[in-house]
Amino acid sequence: MPVQETQIKHSDSLSSDSQISYVPPKDIGLIWKQIEPLLLKPLKIDGFAYMPKDIFDSIVKQKMQLWISWNVKKMLWKLLLLQK
């Protein structure tokens, strides 16, 4: 995943193969097609109390924050949503 220039927070994790980045609300549209499929499994487990559009809208309205961790070598993504 390319790193956005407008990114506010970024750091390497303890594993040098992983990176953690905050996705600013104005940039969520740039990566949403990659993120949305990753949300479906946890949303299904939760009984779809939220839909992907709810998450997208909450990020854009700054009610939630999206943080992404990915491992370059393993091509593994992890998402963290924080509600304000």
Give pTM, 2 decimals.
0.72
How many CB atoms neighbour CB 21 within 10 A?
A: 19
- % the chain with pLDDT above 70: 79
pLDDT digits over 56-80, tens only?
Answer: 999 999 999 999 887 777 767 788 8
Q: Coil, strand, or helix at residue 48? A: coil
Q: Phi then psi for 13, rounded to 5 degrees?
A: -85, -175
Give the span between the Cα atoms of 40 and 15, in whole angstroms.
27
Give residue limits of the domains in the chain.
Answer: 10-83
